[in-house]
Structure 1
Amino acid sequence: MTNITAPPRKFQGIAVLDHKDWKNPKKVEFESKNLYDYDVEVKIECCGVCGSDIHTASGHWGETKKPLVVGHEIIGTVTQIGSQCNELKVGDRVGIGAQVFSCLECDRCKSDNEPYCPKTVNTYRKDYTDGYNSKGGYADYIRLHEHFAVPIPENIPSHLAAPLMCGGVTAFSPLLRNGCGPGKKVGIMGIGGIGHMGLIFAKAMGAETFAISRSSAKKEDAIKMGADHFIATKEEPDWATKYFDTFDLIVVCSNSLTDIDFNVVPRTMKVGGKIVSICVPEQHEVMNLKPFGLIGVSISNSALGGINEIKQMLDLVSKKNLKIWVETIPISEKGVKEVFERMEKGDVRYRFTLTDYDKEFSK
């Protein structure tokens, strides 16, 4: 940590106080972190709702310190800067994803792999070295290192920009890193909140796109999003035979890995093909597969995208005028309860953004 530019002050947020009662969050007041010399303070305009919020709020990923303020798809305006800040200025509209700090000095950070830094601090529920437990975007303000606040292009509306900051770049990163583009056949498995963005991005990047889902319920939506083909795996038992030796890349965007047969999926891959999962399932889940099925194929897991990847994604969205599918709900105890309940049931087409922050936090 560097020197302190401004001491803590009181913020407001909608917080989980007990994992056992996570669907009844409460409006609370909490102390902010110090504003260090390379930090910025951001007044939050809106925040997307990510599956990670549900896993964390419900306790599926273990106990956390309370009050727990989740939310890591944040759009807001810089209101204060540290004494050494040189990347941003007061009044800038910025986006904040699932990371608010890393060392910025290790080889991983210097190669645009900040999410893989051992000193990473996530936007919520993680401790800084000074002991402060990070608080997320279901709040009126947030303080963070300026490196992790990214300027948002003017032509991207805030409510559409918010889900890009975590869910969007989580889909974009494996596409970018694994050669998605013209001449490639790319499958997106799981057409949900992240998967639908992956489908839109893959098409915009020039690939021949395949939406892969358990049923045909989302076929019409997937075609509108840009899918060239649609595969319903439960309705086509021989789909792996039909699509043998087809894919250069499959990005697995499902919420769970339990229903995916990794002894079947590799048969659809070209030699040298890659299956990349972005899924972070509940702690009890395991993958079962036979090693011989991996001959010529690799399976890996992708974490968050780095800051440079977020900037590349925003540039693509801006230049191509891409529109993800978002439903807005005003933030409040009632609003957060609604998104928690509907997210748990999968009742969303295809992302939520919490809005109207000025109305809730002016009270």
Structure 2
Amino acid sequence: MASAIPAADLRSFSEYLKTSKRIIALLGAGISASSGLPTFRGAGGLWRTYEATDLATPEAFEANPDLVWQFYSYRRHMALKAQPNRAHFALAELARKRKDFITLTQNVDGLSPRANHPSEQLHLLHGSLFNVKCTSFYCSYSRNNDFTDPIVPALAIPKNLPEPTPSTGDKTGEEATRSLYNALGIAEGEEVDISDDRVPLKGLSTDLLPHCPECKEGLLRPGVVWFGESLPLQTLDTVDNWMKAGPIDLILVIGTSSRVYPAAGYVDKARAKGARVAVVNMDRNDVGSSGLKPGDWFFKGDAGVIVPEILQSVTGEIQ
């Protein structure tokens, strides 16, 4: 099949990539949409009527840990049903071929780790659905890459909850949400809340939720960055130190608008260190606060198709 990428752009990028040593990639939701994964607001559809502050803040967890855990358990379940796509595998292979390449992901879905992306070259800006940590002030317990589903028996997906399968043909991740609404008999745009008989969410007592195996007292919480929380300082320091260590040849901006800090800041910092910018996105107008400059590349389309093709000069063909 003929490539949708203009031949001159692909040729110039491929030649530049082959000589690039210090490379950084910034990933957003667009790369996961290529695996058919619903967005935060679309995750299951049942939670569309909740504000983010009802589901993704420390205060929400303190007030309703059962509701928050049901939301995140469903997101974990959906993420595990999705599969890493060829873009995830291509970036993992680039990391193996270029030891001075790092990837920063704003995604929490675990798809990059499941593509065997070298962990020392992968930095999770917003944490992961599959990391957990104790909420007790006196306990520092945490564990990473826990792909158990459900994480505790009480959080098993209810048998009467339809299981929409992520579709690699759905490049927005919304297909799964629509199929769930249809299966529950909920009309598009209809207001639904937790008291609706069609919504199989239930109140769970605290003792049925994930507890810390170390202190035995504290509840475990998802290891994601909630609204109002700071990004992981150790991760930010590691990335900043890498950026300061020498000139940067290239920054790949994949599936993200790069308009929100720190994402926007990384593009500007990389430019200041000499980097050329390559953007992979569905919308040419969605390329960050600084826009495209002479010498940059813009590749329009599905990340799962575009990324393996533009990296092929270094990674080889990705199946």
Same fold (TM over 0.5): no
Larger strand proportion of the pair: 1
Larger relative CO (CA 8 A, sep 6+): 1 or 2?
2
